[in-house]
Amino acid sequence: MSTAIPRPGPLPGTLQVRDGQLRHLLTIEGLGRPLLEQILDNAESFASLNEQGVKKVPLLRGKTIANLFFEPSTRTRTTFELAAKRLSADVMNLTMSASSTTKGETLLDTLRNLEAMQCDLFIVRHAEAGAAHFIARHVAPNIAVVNAGDGRHAHPTQALLDMFTIRRHKGDLSSLRVAVVGDVLHSRVARSDIHALNTLATGEVRVIGPRTLLPAGVEQLGVQVYHDMDKGLRDVDVVMMLRLQRERMHGAFIPSEHEYFQRYGLTEERLALAAPDAIVMHPGPANRGVEITSEVADGPRSVILEQVTYGLSVRMAVMAMVMGVKDAFDT
């Protein structure tokens, strides 16, 4: 199956955007600032809805959304499912590792069968970079695709919910210093966050980590590189911690988790180097005692649980938009 999925190259704009409207969401890269801000603005409306007693709207009533998860996930799959149900869509959850694709059926065969079931939107998570792009290029014209994470490549809705969280706490991003800390090399979240931060004209984006966990030429993404945690954290407004992606590592990238924590773990003492009102973020699940202490993860400056909450609103906005709803409550 891996031979059927090419690694993603430059994306034609028409694949994600058609007539100025979001057609698929496959990556942050290549999307303009106005469109990102429109998604965040729509998410704001859904956040207000999610804070009310009745949290359901009929925007996608009669639509069928299929969650196609080719690798394990709990948080992302659950939030997509709940977001779809709050939009009144019908939802199918398919654990693809146990599907016909393991019995010799090709990915395209599976897609054709789902199309025959009159699905309208595919939410795709896959271990291989480029899977969501491959599916978007081969689905019927009336079906939308949202990338819920593909290999090391992209996780666009995570980046959008991160931007939404920052905007809610900090407002305008243009004067902010944001640090992305840890295993950037293996992290699809880091890549999407960096693209989103720069598209939204964030004041300064830093990456902090050992040389072995930073991609070669990472500076070309528009970031300042620090290998010293203390120097990198000084005066930052947002600290975005990353999980060590052990499942994607092949070889010895760090001497030990203990030594990694000593050099790059976020403690209360290190957080004191950041701005006094700095917020701490993490895409989860967090390795406590490896990249972050429990005192910080559960502390007053942590917004980790808020990220989960806002993920619902952002995913509702994205699904509504790719299904042709221009504004949050446009019927």
Question: According to the annotation, is 211 in a ligand binding site?
Answer: no
92-122 per-position pLDDT tens digit? 998 766 454 555 567 788 888 889 999 999 9
pLDDT confidence band for 180 (50 / 70 / 90): very high
**Mind listing the domains of the chain with CATH numbers?**
2-151+309-322 (3.40.50.1370), 156-300 (3.40.50.1370)
Question: According to the annotation, is 158 in a ligand binding site?
Answer: yes
pLDDT confidence band for 55 (50 / 70 / 90): confident
Q: What percent of the chain has pLDDT over 90?
A: 71
pLDDT confidence band for 14 (50 / 70 / 90): low
Q: What is the mean pLDDT of residues 18-46?
A: 94
Average pLDDT in the chain: 89
Q: What is the mean pLDDT of residues 189-215?
A: 96
* pLDDT higher at 140 or 249: 140
Q: How wide is the angle at C-alpha 321 spanned by C-alphas 320 and 326, nearest 5°?
A: 105
- Given this model, what pLDDT does residue 6 score? 47
pLDDT value at 265 more than 60: yes
- Given this model, what pLDDT does residue 44 score? 95
Question: According to the annotation, is 52 in a ligand binding site?
Answer: no
- Given this model, what pLDDT does residue 249 score? 42
Question: According to the annotation, is 227 in a ligand binding site?
Answer: no
117-138 per-position pLDDT tens digit? 999 999 999 988 888 999 999 9
- Given this model, what pLDDT does residue 331 score? 44
Question: According to the annotation, is 210 in a ligand binding site?
Answer: no
- Given this model, what pLDDT does residue 73 score? 80
HEC assignment per residue over the chain: CHHHCCCCCCCCHHHHEECCEECCECCCCCCCHHHHHHHHHHHHHHHHHHCCCCCCCCCCCCCEEEEEECCCCCHHHHHHHHHHHHCCCEEEEEEHHHCHHHHCCCHHHHHHHHHHCCCCEEEEEECCCCHHHHHHHHCCCCCEEEEEEECCCECHHHHHHHHHHHHHHHCCCCCCEEEEECCCCCCHHHHHHHHHHHHCCCCEEEEECCHHHCCCCHHHHCCEEECCHHHHHCCCCEEEECCCCHHHCCCCCCCCHHHHHHHHCECHHHHCCCCCCCEEECCCCCCECCCECHHHHCCCCECHHHHHHHHHHHHHHHHHHHCCCCCCCCC
Q: What is the mean pLDDT of residues 235-253?
A: 74
- Given this model, what pLDDT does residue 271 score? 98
- Given this model, what pLDDT does residue 19 score? 86
- Given this model, what pLDDT does residue 2 score? 34
- Given this model, what pLDDT does residue 151 score? 86
Question: According to the annotation, is 285 in a ligand binding site?
Answer: yes
pLDDT value at 58 more than 70: yes
pLDDT confidence band for 257 (50 / 70 / 90): confident
Question: According to the annotation, is 75 in a ligand binding site?
Answer: yes
- Given this model, what pLDDT does residue 113 score? 87
Question: According to the annotation, is 77 in a ligand binding site?
Answer: no
Burial of 116 per CB tally in 10 Å (0-12, 13-18, 19+): exposed
